Amino acid sequence: MSSVVHWVVSPNESLSCVVRFMNKNGKVGVNVSNKKRGSSILNFSSGISVLSSDIVNSSRSSEERVYEVILKQAALVGDKKLMKRRSVDLSKHSKADAMTNPTLLNEAYDRCGDVCAEYAKTFYLGTLLMSPERQRAVWAIYVWCRRTDELVDGPNASHITPMALDRWEQRLVDLFEGRPYDMYDAALSDTVSKYPVDIQPFKDMIDGMRLDLKKSRYKSFDELYLYCYYVAGTVGLMTVPVMGISPHSKVSTESVYNSALALGIANQLTNILRDVGEDARRGRIYLPQDELQRAGLTEEDIFRGQVTEKWRAFMRGQIKRARMFFAEAEKGVAELDAASRWPVLASLLLYQQILDSIEANDYNNFTKRAYVGKAKKLMSLPKAYARTLMRQF
């Protein structure tokens, strides 16, 4: 159930704060407080040190844990030593033919574009507005994310074991070190050699797939939030270094990363609301159990698939929350490099319309699939372009 999103960051700020991204009342926002805590260090393939407590400290909320990861990722933006270390690491390994042969490498990127065009039409439309170099990099990242998602949601999902995901993670480490297994891997391996992309968000996405193997219910939004980070928010962190930011922007790195994360969460919440019926037929319910209970709804109501007044009221609240995340995401678009602003906003507006479609279907996401027609998609492009010309929207 992964969702793909692209974003950007600005080049500075410190790591001195712990931020709760969601307030207890469910409103999007930040609550900053200075804290110190001892933690052990984990060293990842890219050479980046990440605090192990960022993910495993269960005494903190999911939002706090995820934001700690954001702070570490934001610190990498201006880290020139990272690319130098990666260059040294790659020189230790013989690169595959697809990475040294320009013709094969171009073909690898073209194949990634073909996959994106076939399976993510709305997202692909947004990438066509990017510069060629950014476009290719985002395609490569998308394809890796899709292949990872297919491990647990694809036709062979019933045969996937935790050991298979372990092997996929080792393959990820190999491609980050310049040893791709195939042409799709080669495209991503080339991308991470050109941009300061960290391996941790990719590993976190694999952890999201591990959750799908053993978990089909989420007790609260706090639990669901962490899942959404794993399978979608991570994509924002992956693509941050690929995008650019306006040299006139005065916002903090963490602030724009917040917007990137918000877009990933918004997209995944939209996926969940769109796919309620499809997921239920596979025995999965990605809606917060405590909120269903407060709404007077049960699992049997989900499996029965009847649209009632209780269901409509529940869905209104879920859609409202998704739109709050989209609104938070949109705040960061104004800070982007001029060349990136239009495709990012266009993608945001296009995906947000899926929520409108759910409403138009009278909240029947059991048997009707919400989608955005081609005409509406095309109409969104000039709207997004006009708003980007204003920079502040």
Consecutive 10-residue runs of the chain (393 residues): their mean pLDDT? Answer: 41 30 41 34 31 47 87 75 58 60 93 94 83 94 96 87 96 95 96 90 96 95 96 88 78 84 94 97 96 97 97 98 95 81 86 96 96 82 80 54
- Does the pTM of the predicted model rise above 0.85? no
346 occurs within a structural domain: yes
State how far the Cα of 145 lies from the Cα of 234, in Å rounded to an integer: 10
Does residue 203 lie in a domain region?
no
Tell me the CA distances in angstroms from 126 to 122, 320, 350, 378, one per residue in order: 7, 24, 9, 11
Q: Which CATH number covers residue 268?
A: 1.10.600.10
- Please indicate, yes or no, whether residues 189 and 232 belong to a single structural domain of this protein: no
The number of angstroms, rounded, from the C-alpha of 389 to the middle of its chain's C-alpha atoms is: 26
> Does residue 228 sit in the same domain as residue 191?
no
Let me know whether 186 and 268 are in one domain. Answer: no
Rounded CA separation 384/14 (Å): 32
pLDDT at 322: 98
Alpha carbons 364 and 359: distance in angstroms, whole number: 8
CA-CA distances (angstroms) from residue 304 to 31, 300, 366? Answer: 41, 6, 9
Beta-bridge mates of residue 33: 18
**Residue 152 and residue 291 in one domain:** no
Residue 270 has what pLDDT? 97
- In this structure, the answer to whether residues 248 and 185 fall within a common structural domain is no
List residues bridging with 32 in a β-sheet.
19
Residue 163 has a pLDDT of 96
Beta-carbon-side half-sphere exposure of residue 78 (alpha carbons within 13 Å): 11
Backbone dihedral angles phi then psi of residue 42, each to the nearest 5 degrees? -115, 135
- 286 and 189 housed in the same domain: no
Residue 2 lies in a domain: no
- Using an 8 Å Cβ cutoff, are 142 and 116 in contact? yes
Same domain for 296 and 161, yes or no, is: no
Residue 35, in any domain of the structure: no
Domain end marker among 146, 165, 198: 198
> Do 159 and 284 fall within a single domain?
no
The rounded Cα 295 to chain-centroid distance in angstroms is 29
Is residue 161 domain-resident?
A: yes
209 falls within a domain: no
Cα–Cα distance list, 102 to 94, 98, 105, 108, 183 (Å):
16, 7, 5, 10, 12
Structurally, the chain folds into a number of domains equal to 2
> Looking at the domain assignment, is residue 53 inside a domain?
no
What is the model's pLDDT at position 336? 74
Same domain membership, residue 128 and residue 251: no
Parent domain of 227: 215-392
123 and 234 in a common domain = no
Regarding whether 231 and 97 lie in a shared domain, the answer is no
The last residue of one of the domains, among 198, 229, 258, is: 198
Does 191 lie in the same domain as 108?
yes
Give the chain's largest Cα–Cα span: 63
Residue linked to tokens 């697809």: 98
Predicted pLDDT of residue 23: 42
pLDDT for 357 equals 97
Distance CA 231, CA 145 (A): 9
Q: Which of 198, 228, 261 is the last residue of a domain?
A: 198
Domain assignment present for residue 72? The answer is: no
**3-class SS letters over 369-381:** CCCCCHHHHHHHH
**CB 339: neighbour CB atoms within 10 A?**
14
C-beta of residue 230 within 8 angstroms of C-beta of residue 205: yes
